[in-house]
């Protein structure tokens, strides 16, 4: 099988004169290197198609040779084509046998099969820049830039016969058009990939580059912390994402509620569980935490960071420490989740209780984590709530959460009585109050809640060696790090 890398576009969706395939990624290597590298050992000849103007102006030949030697054959075009199908057709004319056609602006790993396949992944967001695949067993139709279902193309296409592609691609712009034409007489199947990342537009490129390793603080809001261990030579990278528990609030003099939450930073960074866990794993460490953050924010940050880190480390370990359900409703406006708020409002209008309304939201979170794990099956992805209790089952959760570990180590055995408080009902009740949606049914739930709250505070007071106000002290961070280390070892 031969490979064609498509890099002959005008890069009109990017700022600046540099063609997108030459833009540097997080490790300063060009985009095309990341797009091509996973497939070098799976193909014979490799053809990279570029514009003649780019070839001459940007020294493309030298750049390609620097990374791949003489392995890649450059094909120069003196004009823009109507689209990727016409571009690939110009090379397929001279290829005998099968061909793998790859975009230069997407990254993923896959074992390329012989036959007619479309590389795909699961995508649960409406996105008019993607190609959506209708398939059960075999592909029925590809909808270019029209949201349909949850399976999208990712910029990789296998054709059993390059000459057949050449014939069918006449007068077509998109490769999806060629496939839609061919499926009338030829079966095409989906090929799920792992580690998908899209950098096809300026927005997507900026998005994946927004968490550069050199970044230490995001000053758009002082509480957001991306803290990075500068030692980058290790094979493993640990990513910890969460709220104030993960950030290390109240370690030493650190206080995420103060006017300057950066005080005592050095001490906090040396005692927070992420630092302790990275030391035990002998790994790089990237922490992204927001005191007061909600679970929607936590999941979104994980979904942003994993694609970048996945391609820059040999082994990625992701630890999420979630917060109480309901914060999505009450955070600062820029961190609220409009979709979650509207869902809760609808549930309440239909007479559902607080816990009853929380369960489907939590299940959506579990599905997003499962989808992420499916796209990156070789990462370690696990975690739990910090101080609240899960409502439903998720295979990616540890058996115990952080506060379970602390209470049990403290010898407190009656903490199970405070389960209702630990589901976040109290936060959601506040939301019901100020939206005038609270009912007698909700007030009954809240009435039980206050008893749970008192028991919770009493348990905290009996664990002062582990807590300073409401956040874990140094020993509490060590307990959580030790527990997570054992769970991680089970998956390595």
What are the structural domain ranges in the chain? 2-203, 210-489
Domains 2-203 and 210-489 share a fold: no
Residues 309, 380: Cα–Cα separation, whole Å: 13
Query: Which tokens is 215 given?
Result: 């970044």
219 contacts 153 by C-beta, under 8 angstroms: no
Location of structure tokens 């570990």: 405
- Most confident of the following: 223-232, 261-270, 413-422, 440-449: 261-270
Checking if the pLDDT of 254 tops 80, the result is no
Structure token pair of residue 155:
């910029």
**Which of 379, 312, 284, 304 shows the shortest CA–CA distance to 34?**
312
Residue that the structure tokens 């997507």 belong to: 204
User: What is the rounded CA–CA span in Å between residue 406 and residue 480?
Assistant: 8
- The DSSP secondary structure of 91-106, one letter per residue, reads HHTT--S-EEEEESSE
More confident residue, 216 or 250: 250
- Report d(CA 159, CA 117) in Å as an integer: 7
Each residue of 121-178: pLDDT tens digit? 876 555 555 667 777 778 888 887 666 667 888 899 999 999 999 999 999 999 999 9
Say what the pLDDT of residue 214 is: 29
Model confidence band, residue 218 (pLDDT cutoffs 50, 70, 90): very low
Give dist(CA 78, CA 94) in Å, integer.
18
Q: Residues 67, 33: contact at Cβ < 8 Å?
A: yes
CA distance 312 to 41: 19
**210-489 has which fold?**
Rossmann fold (3.40.50)
85-95: average pLDDT = 94
Cβ count within 10 A of residue 368: 16
The predicted structure's pLDDT at residue 93: 92
> 34-38, 182-186, 223-227, 332-336: which has the minimum mean pLDDT?
223-227
Q: Mapping DSSP to helix (H, G, I), strand (E, B) and coil, where does residue 235 land?
A: coil
Q: What is the DSSP string of 319-357?
A: EEEE--TTHHHHS-GGG--HHHHHHHHHHHHTT--HHHH
Residue 283: pLDDT over 90: no
**Cα 359 → chain centroid:** 23
**What's the CA gap between 336 and 479, in Å, rounded?**
31
The pLDDT of residue 335 is: 55
pLDDT value at 223 more than 80: no
DSSP H/E element including 371? helix 354-375
* Residue 3 DSSP SS3: strand
- What does the pLDDT average to over 305-328? 82
The most confident of 20-34, 213-227, 464-478, by mean pLDDT: 20-34
**288 vs 209, higher pLDDT:** 288
State the Cα–Cα distance between residues 294 and 321, nearest whole angstrom: 11
Residue 220 has pLDDT above 50, yes or no: no
Tokens for 116? 């007619």
- Strands (DSSP E) found in 160-301: 189-192, 194-198, 225-228, 236-242, 284-289
Q: Which two tokens stand for residue 25?
A: 């990624």
Q: What is the mean pLDDT of the chain?
A: 79
Round to whole Å and give the CA distance between 72 and 47: 6
Close Cβ partners of 60 (under 8 Å, ≥ 6 residues apart): 22, 50, 54, 74
Residue with tokens 């005191």: 291
Q: Which residues pair with 141 in a beta bridge?
A: 134
* Topology (CATH) of 2-203: Spore Coat Polysaccharide Biosynthesis Protein SpsA; Chain A (3.90.550)
Task: Quote the pLDDT of residue 102.
Answer: 96
Number of residues that this document lists for the chain: 492
Q: Give the pLDDT score at 418.
A: 47
pLDDT, tens digit, 9 for 90 and up, residues 26-79:
778 899 999 998 899 899 999 999 999 999 999 999 999 999 999 999 999 999
Task: Find out whether 85 and 178 touch, Cβ atoms under 8 Å.
Answer: yes
Within 13 Å and on the Cβ side, how many CA atoms surround 3? 25
Q: What is the pLDDT of residue 401?
A: 87
Candidate from 309-313, 358-362, 429-433 with smallest mean pLDDT: 429-433
Lowest mean pLDDT across 45-54, 221-230, 374-383, 462-471: 221-230
Q: Which pLDDT score is estimated for 151?
A: 80
- What are residue 232's DSSP bridge partners? none
CB 169 within 8 A of CB 178: yes
């Amino acid at each position: 099988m031969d490979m064609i890398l498509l890099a002959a576009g005008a890069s009109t969706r990017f700022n600046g004169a540099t063609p997108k395939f030459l833009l540097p990624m997080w490790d300063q290597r060009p985009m095309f290197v990341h797009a091509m590298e996973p497939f070098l050992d799976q193909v014979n000849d490799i053809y990279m198609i570029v514009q003649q103007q780019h070839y001459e102006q940007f020294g493309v030949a030298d750049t390609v040779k620097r990374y791949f030697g003489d392995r890649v054959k450059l094909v120069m075009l003196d004009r823009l084509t109507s689209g990727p199908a016409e571009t690939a057709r110009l090379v397929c004319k001279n290829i005998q046998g099968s061909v793998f056609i790859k975009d230069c602006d997407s990254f993923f790993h896959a074992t390329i099969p012989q036959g007619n396949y479309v590389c795909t992944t699961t995508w649960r967001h409406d996105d008019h820049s993607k190609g959506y695949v209708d398939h059960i067993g075999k592909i029925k139709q590809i909808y270019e830039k029209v949201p349909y279902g949850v399976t999208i193309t990712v910029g990789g296409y296998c054709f059993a016969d390059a000459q057949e592609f050449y014939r069918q691609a006449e007068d077509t712009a998109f490769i999806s058009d060629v496939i839609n034409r061919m499926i009338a007489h030829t079966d095409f199947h989906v090929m799920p990939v792992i580690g998908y990342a899209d950098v096809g537009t300026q927005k997507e490129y900026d998005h994946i580059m927004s968490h550069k390793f050199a970044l230490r603080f995001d000053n758009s809001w002082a509480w957001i912390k991306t803290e990075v261990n500068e030692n980058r030579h290790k094979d493993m990278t640990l990513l910890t994402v969460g709220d104030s528990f993960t950030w290390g609030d109240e370690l030493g003099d650190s206080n995420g509620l103060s006017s300057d939450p950066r005080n005592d930073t050095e001490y906090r960074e040396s005692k927070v569980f992420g630092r302790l866990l990275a030391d035990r794993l002998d790994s790089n460490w990237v922490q992204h935490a927001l005191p007061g953050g909600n679970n929607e924010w936590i999941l979104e940050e994980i979904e942003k960071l994993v694609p970048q880190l996945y391609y820059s480390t040999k082994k990625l370990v992701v630890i999420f420490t979630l917060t109480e359900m309901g914060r999505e409703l009450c955070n600062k406006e820029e961190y609220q989740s409009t979709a979650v708020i509207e869902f809760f409002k609808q549930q309440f209008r239909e007479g559902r209780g607080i816990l009853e309304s929380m369960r489907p939201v939590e299940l959506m979170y579990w599905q997003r984590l499962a989808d992420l794990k499916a796209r990156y099956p070789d990462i370690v992805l696990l975690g739990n709530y910090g101080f609240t209790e899960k409502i439903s089952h998720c295979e990616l959760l540890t058996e115990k959460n952080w506060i379970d570990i602390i209470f049990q180590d403290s010898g407190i055995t009656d903490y199970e009585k405070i389960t209702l408080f630990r589901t976040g009902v109290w936060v959601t009740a506040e939301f019901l109050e100020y939206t005038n949606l609270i009912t007698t049914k909700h007030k009954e739930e809240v009435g039980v809640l206050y008893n749970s709250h008192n028991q919770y505070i009493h348990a905290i007071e009996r664990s002062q060696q582990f807590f300073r106000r409401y956040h874990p002290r140094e020993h509490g961070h060590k307990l959580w790090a030790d527990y997570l280390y054992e769970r991680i070892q089970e998956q390595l």
